[in-house]
Structure 1
Amino acid sequence: MHPREFVAFIAALMGVNALGVDLMLPALADIGHDLAVSAANHRQWIVTVYMMGFGLGQLLYGPLADRYGRRPVLIVTLAGFVGASVFAASAATFPALLGARLLQGLMSASTRVLAVAIVRDTASGRQMARTMSIAQMIFFIVPIMAPTLGQGLLAFGPWRFIFYALGGFAAFVLSWTLLRVPETLAAERRVTISLANLRANYRQTLTNRYSAGYAVAASLTFGGIIAFVSSAQQIFVDEFGAGDRFTLLFALCAGAMGCASFANSRLVERLGTRLISQAAVLALIALSVLHLLVITAGWETLVSYIVFQALSMTCIGLCGSNFGAMAMEPVGHIAGTASSVQGFITSIGAVLVGSAIGQSYAGTTLPLALGYLAIGVAVLALVWVIEGGQLFRARMG
């Protein structure tokens, strides 16, 4: 594949998951009404349950990809995602929809594991971080466009159309895989699935402080994204009464992450993953403190919220791909299994963090600002431990 096509494919693969999370956001109120969901906060489970499946599924796909190769696993799971999308579109009750969302998450988990593993098969270090940043820059366009696309689908039919569209996009990526994507794992690098091998690979991934530590750090920052996504509809529509501008305002906040990934792709090879990510964490803490002061003073408005949220998402965007690259660097020889374990840690941790913040929503942006401050402080402390008590003076990888 041409390098540009390769990056585009990785972005499309990651886009399956991004659309799975964001495409139905404008329809949450319609889904709640149609399926008799009594509490508004319960609608957030449509996002949260998906992410739970996304996290759990990653434990399975890494070992399978290391044994059978990346391509066969990807083909089977993309086909499964298409089927789960049809199941979701035909759900008659809220529990049935949640079951379909869980299945969607389980199937889309392969996209995260295999995107990282495929990139790691062909690159490492700063080059890997740069490739992932470019892919994520394209990928972040999806969350910007997804609510608008979802709103457009609602203009032509009920919320069930959204899930048919998800299945259609996954079918497109499946066709791309079948026609254009080669196997990136050489036969001599494949490992037999056994309890002994799994234990050894899991031990290597979990006992290396960079691998495990930066996976946990990524889970905390990713939790901030889930908290925003799951509560965005309530904040913009219920708190600020901006339902008619929801897709635009959501795009402004999500777009900041795309800009951050683009900047990271240009700067990471010159400045290093550590310098950029550590500076971004410090900036997130400072922004959160300022945001809390604005809220407690009674000065919070729609404009102030958008400014602080967009800047916070910029900081998170500067952390994500760099934390992922640093976590993968010492375990590249077991990229599939390591990616699955790290992805499980990142996704499940993010669900716990994001759900705790999102379910605390009570009509104000205070829980989100407090949550971001807690995330920033926790990540800074964790990075300090990972780097042996040094910040900025540590080896700049």
Structure 2
Amino acid sequence: MSISRSPTRPALGERELIAMMASLMSLQAFGIDAMLPALGAMAADLGASGNDRQLIIAAYLLGSGLGALIPGAFADRFGRRPVLFFGIVFYFLMSIACSMVTDFDTLVVMRSIQGFGSAGLSVLPATIVRDRVGGDRMAKLMSLIMMTFMVVPLLAPAVGQAILVFAGWRVIFDAMAVACALVGIWVWWRLPESLTAENRQTLEIRTIAINMVRGVSDRSAIGYVLGSALVFGALFGFLNSSQQLIGETFGAGEDFALVFGSMVIGLVIANFTNSRIVERFGARRVSHTALLGIIVVSAVQVWSASQPDQTLWQFVPLMAINLALLGFIGANFGSIALQPFVHIAGAASSGQTFLRMVTGALLGGAIGQAFDGTARPIAMALLVCGILALALVLWSERGKLFRRVNPPGTKPIILPVE
């Protein structure tokens, strides 16, 4: 049976779609967050030192960003399902391969290759949702997907810690392969093809390039793409150095997973709250308010991190608040940026994800490498990135925040591409 068509089954409902898209995205998150408690053990076992351990995360993020250029264009030509299954199979095989490495440099290279080949797991969920809905409705569904997806960052460090204690770090990669196989079977069994015949694009380099450039050059979209890259780049910087900061500097040790999970709870709650309010208030109003909140909280973080002998429980509440505020930005910024591109959603999503992920990964890597045994680099990065993101959003919105493009009860407006 061709994988371009799903087996004949009852129609995929909205709730199952949300759970399925979240599961696909969660494979990427599990491949990052389950690693965090084991970074020290990996570094010791494979002979890495200092901040080099962060490369296990940074290489994967950078590979995912670079790989994001490819799946959207192929998905616009051949359909969502075949391209999605390529990413699933690649993720599975590379997880097994990573579990067998014997030196650190090889692991870093293979992690970057894994991220590159499985980038469709990050690109295509938003594309599949965009095939079905637009406007604030898309923002609501993406927020519900993000809320479900965030259960993985909440639990993955604890799972990684348990595997590390009872079986060793290599089994974490085996667990990734098992999770991938289960999600892959579900997707093959239930996900229908969502690319319609009239939206099928030709696979020509010039057409692909034009569509991707359109996706990242439209003024109404680019500020949101780069803005999210900045704030999530700061988040990636935190992820890269979180095990050193929380586990070592603040002395959490084996309680790292518990502390990390407690900070992520707010992110889950925020995405759920966003799904309940975004259609009422609009994606712009909600996300603009959250971005201003990040700037204020980050300024307090800078002050707190500058105090002598900052404690874990002075750091955790402020970081948790900022993580929660990010929950009102991710789905909304992504949905706003993708709105003008209904007919080239795959290529536009690829171009935007590429720019967002590569910028965020490089920025996050630099922030992580700046780790100096304190929370100051993270706090300063959040503040500076928040201010720059606000400037970019103001440019996209022509200086006007909080406007409402799609009032409740109206059809989504497709803004002209500039």
Distance in structure 2 (CA, Å) of the matches to 1:173 and 1:187:
27
Distance in structure 2 (CA, Å) of the matches to 1:66 and 1:282:
36
- Whether the aligned pair in 1 keeps the contact of 2:212 and 2:350 (CA below 8 Å) is no
Aligned length: 396
| Residues 169-216 of structure 1 deviation map (CA, whole Å, 9 limit, x = unaligned) | 111111112111111112332111112312321232132112222111
Q: In structure 2, what is the equivalent of residue 290 of structure 1?
A: 300
TM-aligned CA deviation for residue 154 of structure 1? 1.5
Q: How does 1:208-227 map to 2 (within 5 A)?
A: 208-227=218-237
| Residues 32-76 of structure 1 deviation map (CA, whole Å, 9 limit, x = unaligned) | 01000022x110000000011100111010100000000011112
- Whether the aligned pair in 1 keeps the contact of 2:131 and 2:194 (CA below 8 Å) is yes
- Give the percent of matched residue pairs that are identical in Structure 1 and Structure 2: 39
Distance in structure 2 (CA, Å) of the matches to 1:14 and 1:272:
24
Distance in structure 1 (CA, Å) of the matches to 2:112 and 2:69:
15
- Whether the aligned pair in 2 keeps the contact of 1:85 and 1:100 (CA below 8 Å) is no
Residue 20 of structure 2 is aligned to residue 15 of structure 1: no
Q: In structure 2, what is the equivalent of residue 365 of structure 1?
A: 375
| Residues 228-282 of structure 1 deviation map (CA, whole Å, 9 limit, x = unaligned) | 1111100112111111211110001122211111111011001111111111111
Q: How does 1:88-127 map to 2 (within 5 A)?
A: 88-127=98-137
Specify the SS of the correspondent of 2:310.
coil
Q: Which amino acid aligns with 1:24?
A: M
Q: How does 1:235-314 map to 2 (within 5 A)?
A: 235-298=245-308, 300-314=310-324
Distance in structure 1 (CA, Å) of the matches to 2:137 and 2:404:
20
Q: In structure 1, what is the equivalent of residue 9 of structure 2?
A: none
Q: In structure 1, what is the equivalent of residue 331 of structure 2?
A: 321
Give the one of 379, 392, 400 matched to 1:390.
Answer: 400
More helix by share: 1
- Whether the aligned pair in 2 keeps the contact of 1:273 and 1:396 (CA below 8 Å) is no
Distance in structure 2 (CA, Å) of the matches to 1:393 and 1:62:
30
Distance in structure 1 (CA, Å) of the matches to 2:16 and 2:103:
41
Gap change, CA 1:299 and 1:269, over 3 Å in 2:
farther
Q: How does 1:166-245 map to 2 (within 5 A)?
A: 166-245=176-255
CA RMSD of aligned residues (A): 1.3
Q: In structure 1, what is the equivalent of residue 62 of structure 2?
A: 52
Unaligned runs of 5+ in 1: none
Q: Which amino acid aligns with 2:316?
A: I
TM-aligned CA deviation for residue 396 of structure 1? 6.8
Q: Which amino acid aligns with 1:313?
A: L
Gap change, CA 1:308 and 1:209, over 3 Å in 2:
same
Which portions of structure 1, spanning 4 or more consecutive aligned residues, are displaced by more than 4 angstroms?
Answer: 393-397
Distance in structure 2 (CA, Å) of the matches to 1:383 and 1:96:
40
Distance in structure 2 (CA, Å) of the matches to 1:154 and 1:47:
17
Q: In structure 2, what is the equivalent of residue 5 of structure 1?
A: 16
Distance in structure 2 (CA, Å) of the matches to 1:200 and 1:244:
50
Residue 47 of structure 2 is aligned to residue 36 of structure 1: yes
Specify the SS of the correspondent of 1:59.
coil
Quick check: 150-159 or 302-311, which moved more? 150-159
Quick check: 235-244 or 359-368, which moved more? 235-244
Q: Which amino acid aligns with 1:306?
A: V
Distance in structure 1 (CA, Å) of the matches to 2:127 and 2:273:
23
Quick check: 366-375 or 184-193, which moved more? 184-193
Q: In structure 1, what is the equivalent of residue 82 of structure 2?
A: 72
Gap change, CA 1:35 and 1:393, over 3 Å in 2:
same
TM-aligned CA deviation for residue 152 of structure 1? 1.3
Residue 126 of structure 2 is aligned to residue 134 of structure 1: no
Distance in structure 1 (CA, Å) of the matches to 2:69 and 2:303:
41
Q: Which amino acid aligns with 2:151?
A: I
Quick check: 184-193 or 264-273, which moved more? 184-193
